[in-house]
Chains A and B, each alone.
Chain A
Amino acid sequence: MKKPKELVVISGKGGTGKTSLVASFAVLAKNKVMADCDVDAADLHLILKTNIRHREIFKAGKRAIIRQKDCTGCGLCLTNCRFNAVKMIQEKKGEKIFSIDPISCEGCGVCVHFCPQEAIDFPENVCGEWFISDTRCGPMVHAKLGAAEENSGKLVSLVRTQAKKIADEHGQNLIIIDGSPGIGCPVIASITGADLVLVVTEPTLSGEHDFKRVISLTEHFNIPAALCINKFDLNTSITERIEKEAQEKNIILAGRIRYDKEVTYAQVEEKAAVEYNSSQAGEDIKALWEKLKTIL
Chain B
Amino acid sequence: MIITIASGKGGTGKTTVATNLAVSISSSIDNTPVWVLDCDVEEPNCHLFLKPEIYTSEAVGVPVPKVDKEKCTACGKCGQFCEYSAIVALKTVPITFPELCHGCGGCSLICPEGAISETKRRVGMLEKGQSGDIGFVHGRLRVGEAMSPPLIRAVKKFVFKKGLTLIDAPPGTSCPVIEAIKGSDFVILVTEPTPFGLNDLTLAVDMVKQLNIPFGVLINRADIGDNRVSEYCQAEGIPILLQIPDNRKIAEAYSRGMMIVDVVPGLRETFMDLYFRIKKMCGQQHNEEA
Question: Which residues does A use to contact B, with CB under 8 Å?
Answer: 11-16, 19, 40-43, 46-47, 61-62, 80, 82-83, 103-104, 106-110, 113-114, 145, 147-153, 180-188, 202-207, 209-210, 213, 216-217, 220-221, 234-235, 238, 261, 264, 267-268, 270
Contact B207 A182 (CB under 8 A): no
Kindly provide the distance from the CB of A168 to the nearest chain B CB, expressed in whole angstroms: 27
Is B195 a contact of A270 with CB atoms below 8 Å? yes
Does residue B24 face the partner (Cβ distance < 8 Å to A)? no
Residue of B nearest to A214 (CB): B43
Q: Which residues of A contact B175 (CB under 8 A)?
A: 149-152
Closest 6 A-B residue pairs measured CB to CB? A14-B10, A15-B11, A108-B104, A182-B42, A150-B175, A40-B172
Cβ contact within 8 Å between B83 and A183 = no
Is A185 a contact of B146 with CB atoms below 8 Å? yes
Closest to B16 in A: A206
CA distance A209 to B40 in the complex (A): 13
Are A209's CB and B178's CB within 8 A?
no
In whole angstroms, how far apart are the Cα atoms of A19 and B171 in the complex? 15
Given contacts A82-B105, A148-B207, A206-B45, contact A109 B81 (CB under 8 A): yes
Contact B143 A41 (CB under 8 A): no
Chain B residues contacting A183 (CB-CB under 8 Å) are 42-43, 141, 143
The answer to whether B173 touches A238, judged by C-beta atoms less than 8 angstroms apart, is: no
CA–CA, A254 and B83, complex, Å: 43
B46 to chain A, nearest CB (A): 10
Which residues of chain B are within 8 angstroms of A12 by Cβ–Cβ distance? 43
Q: Answer yes or no: B211 CB below 8 A from chain A CBs.
A: yes
Given the complex, which residues of A lie within 8 Å of B12, measured CB to CB?
14-15
Nearest Cβ on chain B to A199's Cβ, whole angstroms: 13
Chain B residues whose C-beta falls within 8 Å of the C-beta of A204 in the assembled complex: 254-257
| Those of B150-187 within 8 Å (CB) of chain A | 170-176, 178, 182
Tell me the smallest distance from the CB of A217 to a CB of chain B, in Å: 5
Complex Cα gap A295–B213 (Å): 48
Shortest beta-carbon distance, A45 to chain B, in Å?
9
Assess whether A184 is in contact with B42, with CB atoms less than 8 Å apart: yes
Q: Is the CB of B252 within 8 A of A108?
A: no
Q: Which residues of B contact A203 (CB under 8 A)?
A: 255
CA distance A149 to B178 in the complex (A): 8
Tell me whether A213 and B43 are in contact in the complex, defined as CB-CB below 8 angstroms, given that A109-B81, A109-B83, A267-B195 are known contacts. yes
- The residues of B with any CB-CB pair to A shorter than 8 Å are 8-12, 15, 42-43, 45, 48, 81, 83-84, 102-106, 109-110, 141, 143-148, 170-176, 178, 182, 194-196, 199-200, 203, 206-207, 209-211, 224-226, 251-252, 254-257
9 A-B pairs with C-beta separation under 8 A: A149-B174, A180-B172, A182-B43, A204-B254, A205-B48, A213-B43, A234-B255, A267-B196, A268-B195
**A224 CB, nearest partner CB in chain B, Å:** 17
- Interface class of chain B by DSSP: loop
- Using a Cβ cutoff of 8 Å, how many contacts connect chains A and B? 180
CB-based contact A107/B83 at 8 Å = yes
B102:A106 contact, CB within 8 angstroms: yes
Contacts A150-B174, A204-B254, A238-B255; A82 near B11 (Cβ below 8 A): no
Nearest CB of chain A from residue B94's CB, rounded to whole Å: 17
> A14, B226: Cβ atoms under 8 Å?
no
Cα–Cα, bound, A148→B199 (Å): 16
A221 touches B144 (CB 8 A): yes
Q: A15-B11, A41-B10 are in contact. Are A217 and B143 (CB under 8 A)?
A: yes
The CA-CA distance from A183 to B41 in the complex, in Å, is 9
Are B143's CB and A15's CB within 8 A? no
Contact B48 A147 (CB under 8 A): no
Once bound together, how far apart are the Cα atoms of A209 and B83, in whole Å?
36
Question: Is A108 a contact partner of B143 (Cβ separation < 8 A)?
Answer: no
Closest Cβ neighbor of B46 among chain A residues: A206
Query: Are B45 and A188 in contact, CB atoms less than 8 angstroms apart?
Result: no
CB distance B10 to A15 under 8 Å? yes
| Cβ–Cβ contact B148 & A185, under 8 A | yes
A15-B11, A185-B146, A209-B43 known; A113+B110 contact, CB < 8 A:
yes
- Are A40 and B174 interface neighbours, CB within 8 A? yes
20 further A-B pairs in the complex, CB-CB below 8 A; given A147-B210, A264-B194: A12-B43, A13-B10, A13-B11, A15-B12, A40-B174, A42-B199, A43-B199, A46-B199, A109-B81, A109-B83, A147-B203, A151-B175, A180-B172, A181-B171, A183-B43, A184-B145, A202-B255, A213-B143, A217-B144, A264-B225
**B43 and A13: CB pair below 8 A?**
yes
Let me know if B11 and A103 touch, CB within 8 A: no
| A61 CA / B104 CA spacing, docked (Å) | 14
Contact B146 A14 (CB under 8 A): no
- Cβ of B255 and Cβ of A148 under 8 Å apart? no
Instruction: Give the complex CA separation of A42 and B199 in angstroms.
Output: 8
For the complex, what is the distance from the CA of A148 to the CA of B190, rounded to whole Å? 18
Residues from chain A with Cβ under 8 Å of B104 in the complex:
82-83, 106, 108-110
Contacting residues, chain B, for A14 (C-beta < 8 A): 9-12, 171
